[in-house]
Structure 1
Amino acid sequence: MKWIYNDYEFDNRINNLAWTISGDYSEDIEVSEKDYSSKEVSLYFGIIAGARRKYVDWNIVKKYLIHRISKGYEKDIILDLVQIVFNNLVESKVIEDRPGIEEIRVKAYRDIINRFTKIYNDNILQKIKYVFILEGMGKHPSVDGLSRRLINEIKNINLNNEIIEILKDLDSIYMKYFNAIANDLDKNERSDSKEYKEIDIDFDTFSDFMYEELYNDEDEAFMENEIDLISSSMLVESIGESKLSDSRNRSNRVIYIDEETASKIYEKIEYYYGKSYLSKSEIKKVETKNCRNVHEGCRVHFTEGVLRSECKNVFQLKYVTRHKENNLKKYREKIKTYKRNINKLTENISRILIEESINDRVYSDCGTIDANRAWRVGRSSNNKIFYKDIENEKGRYVIDILLDSSGSQSRNQYRVAIQAYIIASALTMAKIPNRVTGFSSFLDYTILKRFRDYKDPVSVNENIFEYFCTGNNRDGLAIKCICDGLIEREEENKVLIVLSDGKPNDVKIGAEKERSIRGESTYKGKIAIKDTANEVRLARQKGILVLGVFTGKENELIAEKMIYGKDFIYTKNIERFSDIVSMYLKKIIRN
């Protein structure tokens, strides 16, 4: 995939096209689902991204694959078969609904194939993929009898059936063909000693995979990744090998653009995210201080969003409004429960603060005389009739809540918004200054969207429902910028709570003519984890108490531990976020 970001207006058109096809404006179109190598390819990527969401329930497909592979199905074969069948389903249905798309497909396929240096055609499934692509371009390739029979079987699947019935037909194809021809598939990657046993599956209990829990987290994580690959790319991408420059750009997650395009990005960032509440000189000061080393060349945008800032982007205004309305709708469905949670959390925090602020009275041989104890003089061995009041020295508290707003959190979007609203409302009512900020990345910009500031009244907390998830996340830079403001607060006890999936991941942009980039060319894996961990450590050295709340997969906990050490909490249920924060606050206040 070629990562060339040519035109913001065109990108908006692609997003709008995908949303129109899918019929769901709450779904974000990921960068990995876009291609800007030509106009036709870009349009078709957007169309298929929307169609995948409309026509396929990928969660059912994932459960089917996990179940079948656990029963002995050959992983590579069944994954390829699923990709072929569901690509055929998605394309057939979207073209049936909108016939004009077929012409766009022909041009897109042609452009993609033209940039391949090699076509994979080593086994029967790769051959079948290629045939489907060529036929989609209006060509009629000749193939051997076995391949043609298999292609006809796939085409004979009734695509108007429910997903379960389509999977049953797919299953029949696997059972009918691939025990017999497995030895012809990908021989170089298979052990000569491996035997392909007959697999007995009871079709009367076909949908049992929907209810069984036979797989572990590693199986699910692996299959989640495979489904992401199948559901975020087109079949044509898997049949060939691109030019070296394209593959290099993709692996390094670098977007190379010309200077004119870069200038457009910097000029129009406020058009898409709302006007910054900081002046240009203030932003420059922040960037000079923080955009160093791994963040060299990055930029920061502080905003209150398009709904509360100056913004002329009508489409974006409607888009964010739709997200806010959806979040609020979910909140109102259980509003009585959530209000009880707010009141309970407020009461708990207030009680702890009152208990800890009460002066302790210590009796001694000197100090202020206690008249009620004067009788003890000469009559009791306990002659401590004086007292001293020890004032509470713990000081006041200020809290920052930093919410990962990247696309990977989209499955939790309304839940995160509700829980953040509960916490912020309770803290505000308990008179603890607090700020709530969402962070995400777009190209080399880290967007910091402020939902409420420290001194805002409780009514402002409704802005938190503007929370929506899109783009990437550069955690280290976001934490560094937030801590700049937090450390300046006068309160003695400063707390930063970060909610994320523990996977910092971002792209960079560079000049097309130079093909070079300042700082690190990639922000993921060890580089990103090390940088984020370093920022957490520096914050703690400055006296900020940092808590990480992890919402990712259990097999990724090691990254969270590396970043936050012992001060992190893992929760599979994001709706416990407010409870977790409550317990943490009790702990730090009392200790």
Structure 2
Amino acid sequence: MDELELELENRIKNLMWTVSGDYALEFKPDLAAFARSRYVALYDGIKQGAFARYFDREAFSMYLVKKIYLHGMEAPLMQLAQLCIEFAVSARITAEREGVATIRRKACEDILEMDFARLQETLTGRLKLALFKEVLNGKEPATARMRNWMDRIEELEYAESTMDIIRTTDTLYNEIADPYFERRHGSLETVLAVTNEELAEFSWKDYLKEEELEDTLETYLDQVAQNMTNLDMLEQAEKEEKPEKKEDKKRVLVVDEKALERMYSYVERNYGKTFLTEMEEKRVNQLMCRGIHGDCSLYFTRGILKTPVLRNYQYEYARKQKDKNLYEYYDNHRIVKNNIRILTDMLKKTLTLREEAEELLSDRGRVLPSRLWRIGRSEDARVFERCLYQDSGSFVVDVLIDASGSQRSRQGQVAIQAYILSEALSNVGIAHRVMSFCTFWDYTILHEFRDYDADRRENSNIFEYVTSSNNRDGLAIKAAGYGLSAREEEHKILIVLSDGRPYDVILNRPNARNPQPYHGEYAIKDTGFEVRKLRSQGICVLGVFAGEEKDLAAEKKIFGKDFAYIRDISGFSPVVGRYLMKQLEKDT
């Protein structure tokens, strides 16, 4: 078997070297693919050589790595890259070598025969099926949307540069696999702007096998470069969301302790150490992470700048973002101070009204001589007067801020608005907590900037606000409500700043626990349920919406009548101030 495998490997390598004309080109043939179909394995080798000859193989593989670094999903990205490369090189190489056309047709036939059922399960798979059918049978009927995607891939036959392939791959990924990618993580320019230093600092261990862990970035680059031309679909694809059958809802997850530990340590390195003890953390997760959040975990931290594990790329990025937030604050220093003063005065006036004594007739208190005649002569025998005082200390406020990638373009403004609100609440002596939330892998990270009874100097921690990844709003709101419920104050208020679009699609990475994709109607219903549950417990919940108008309907479903739409983030603190005044005035 060893001799046979060596012979096959040499045969495929020779094909690649002959086509590319570069005998120094490194390539490890996929012999497992050869066992399934020799035509697929041979054609993959030919494509490797052709792509290296006509285009910049390193530039394209580097683009893929950068896209994955910015939270692109590896499986669908690789599938689309494979299709784009296939149509960019096939016409060129078949024009030069007629025999390649036969190998290509045989490879397409084998893929359709072996993987038809599996390809039908995903949108990228159905696109692959449609394209390969046209390779074999010519033009076939397709939906307008599918035809649009097919035409763009087939047009790569005329691609003049590697950048043409990159643009098409990126556009198709953003349309097919992750329509929210650009909004959350940035455009193609943002992807290409990622530096080699940033990539080198990132841990690629979770993408590699144990035996490949040395020189991880280089190893992963090599892996991507080899996989991006593979025609065979052996990797597990990201599934589209489908309605679950009742019998499929309960799943047994087998995750070994080593994998869990590695995942936890990665979160710790990139978000800072947790401030909870192991027992406290376990207890909170047992209480909160149930039902549809059963495969998730909560992670409470004061941030990577306060409790770093090491000075990695994420630490430097958070430090730079804090500086940017502070620069924006200093640029608007006078406006910010004025807004704090206005909001403080608004709250003080309302609290002054609450603190005015209210005199009531009672059966105890100070005697009123003018009413003594009523004793024995009237049913209303109240002859005492009592003074009732409202207590401003009976209020507690929680401010919860969406820190997912969708807020990236306005990080400084969000930090400033949260700071204005926190300063005003500190000025009038109302206990409050400020946290941000985002979701990375299975962990919903709650970054606490200041606790309820913290010194006002802690308010400046808000400038450490930094965004990343996804947002599991339902779980974050549930966790914030849990903290509020434990407070002794009579009146509890939760304010949530979000874009009205809960979105947590877990990346398809080794050792991830992969809960059901959390987005669309499924996520909106869950978030709305958690809001209504808190309100039933007497907690006032205000949703402040800072997203796009098309998402207003979703925000209304989540928060009902108690939500505010702000077209500009600068409206956050005034809107919240008016809402707080309304709550303070309720019992006056």
Q: Which residue of 2 aligns with 1:409?
A: 407
Matched letter for residue 528 of structure 2: A
Q: CA deviation at 1:363?
A: 7.4
Partners of 1:227 and 1:309 in 2: CA distance: 30
Aligned counterpart in structure 1 of residue 270 of structure 2, from 255, 268, 272? 272
Instruction: Please give the residue correspondences for 1:42-81 in structure 2 after superposition, counting only pairs within 5 Å.
Output: none
Cα deviation, 1:26-70, whole Å, max 9, x if unaligned, reads xxxxxxxxxxxx99xxxxxxxxxxxxxxxxxxxxxxxxxxxxxxx
> How many Å apart are 1:354 and its aligned residue?
1.2
Q: Would you say 1:559 and 2:554 are equivalent positions?
A: yes
The corresponding residue for 1:490 is: 488
CA distance in 2, matches of 1:449, 1:283: 14
Alpha-carbon distance change, 469 to 369 in structure 1, aligned in 2, over 3 angstroms: same
- Point out where structure 2 has 5 or more consecutive residues left out of the alignment: 1-26, 29-53, 67-73, 97-137, 146-174, 193-224, 243-250, 372-381
For the Cα contact (< 8 Å) 1:117–1:241, is it kept in 2? Answer: no
* Amino acid corresponding to residue 588 of structure 1 in structure 2: Q
For residues 540-559 of structure 1, what are the structure 2 equivalents within 5 Å?
Answer: 540-559=535-554
Q: How many Å separate the matches in 2 of 1:498 and 1:447? A: 15
Post-superposition offset of 1:486: 0.9
Superposed displacement of residue 494, structure 1: 0.5
Contact 1:356 1:590 in 2 (8 A): yes
SS of the residue aligned with 2:396?
strand
For structure 1, list consecutive stretches of 5 or more residues without a partner in the other structure.
Answer: 1-37, 40-90, 121-125, 144-183, 192-220, 375-383
Contact 2:75 2:237 in 1 (8 A): no
How much has 1:256 moved relative to structure 2?
11
Distance 1:564 1:132 in 2: 49
> Matched residues in 2 for 1:535 and 1:587: separation?
23
Question: Which amino acid in 1 is paired with 2:559?
Answer: Y
Q: Which amino acid aligns with 1:415?
A: Q
Taking the aligned partners of 2:470 and 2:482, their CA distance within structure 1 comes to 22
* 2:517 corresponds to which of 514, 522, 528: 522
Corresponding residue number in structure 1 for 2:439: 441
Contact 2:270-2:315 at 8 Å conserved across structures: no
> Is this contact kept in 2: 1:369–1:386, CA < 8 A?
yes
The answer to whether the 8 Å contact 2:365/2:384 transfers is yes
Structure 2 SS opposite 1:307: coil
Q: Which amino acid aligns with 1:553?
A: E
Other-structure match for 1:349: 347
2:578 aligns with one of 575, 583, 587? 583
Return the letter of the residue paired with 2:516.
S
Work out whether residues 395 and 493 of structure 1, in 8 Å CA contact, stay in contact via their aligned partners in 2: no
The equivalent of 1:537 in structure 2 is 532
Q: Which SS does the other structure have where 1:472 is aligned?
A: coil
Match for residue 213 of structure 2? none
Letter in 2 for 1:329: Y
**Taking structure 2 as the reference length, what is the TM-score of the superposition?**
0.58
Counterpart secondary structure, 1:301 = strand
Cα 1:441–1:325 change in 2 (3 A) is same
**Partner of 2:43 in structure 1?**
none
Q: How much does 1:259 deviate?
A: 7.1
Q: Quick check: 2:524–2:558 contact (8 Å CA) kept in 1?
A: yes
What is the CA-CA distance between 1:118 and the residue it aligns to? 12
Q: Secondary structure at the match of 1:282?
A: helix
Give CA-to-partner distance per residue, 1:365-419, whole Å, 9 cap, x none. 9974679x99xxxxxxxxx998543433786111000000000111221111000
**Aligned Cα RMSD in Å?**
4.7
Is the CA contact (8 Å cut-off) linking 1:115 and 1:242 kept in structure 2? no
Q: CA deviation at 1:115?
A: 7.0
Query: Where do residues 494-513 of structure 1 align in structure 2 (5 Å cutoff)?
Result: 494-508=492-506
Q: Verify the 8 A CA contact 1:290 1:480 in the aligned structure 2.
A: yes
In structure 2, distance between residues paired with 1:114 and 1:368: 78
Q: Shift of residue 511 of structure 1? A: 9.3
Structure 1 residue 314: Cα displacement:
3.5
More deviation, 356-365/331-340: 356-365
Looking at structure 2, the residues matched to 453 and 579 of structure 1 have their Cα atoms a distance apart, in angstroms, of: 22
- Size of the aligned set, in residue pairs, is 403
Q: Deviations over 1:523-573 (max 9, x none)?
A: 111221111111111111111110000111111111111111111111111
Cα gap change, 1:506/1:190 in structure 2, threshold over 3 Å: closer, same or farther?
Answer: closer
Residues 531 and 541 of structure 2 are in contact (CA less than 8 Å); yes or no, is this contact kept in structure 1?
yes
TM alignment of 1:466-481, pairs within 5 A = 466-481=464-479
Find the aligned partners of 1:406 and 1:466 in 2 and give their Cα distance. Answer: 14
2:312 — aligned with what?
314
Quote the residue 1:288 is aligned against: 286
Amino acid at match of 2:491: N
Q: Report SS of the residue matched to 1:539.
A: helix
TM-score, with length taken from structure 1: 0.58
Task: For 2:535 and 2:75, locate their aligned partners in 1 and report how far apart those are by CA, in whole Å.
Answer: 50
Question: Which residue is 1:459 aligned to?
Answer: 457
Q: 1:267 to 1:132 in 2, by over 3 A?
A: same
Aligned partner letter, 1:486: L
Deviation, 1:117, is 10
Contact 1:113 / 1:240 at 8 angstroms: preserved in 2?
A: no
Letter in 2 for 1:504: P
- Equivalent residues in 2 for 1:107-256 (5 A)? 132=88, 142=95, 189=143, 228=182, 231=187, 243=233, 246-249=236-239
Correspondence for 2:567: 572
Q: Tell me what 2:297 maps to.
A: 299
Identify which range, 574-583 or 311-320, moves more after superposition. Answer: 311-320
Aligned counterparts, 1:302-381, within 5 A: 302-361=300-359, 368=366
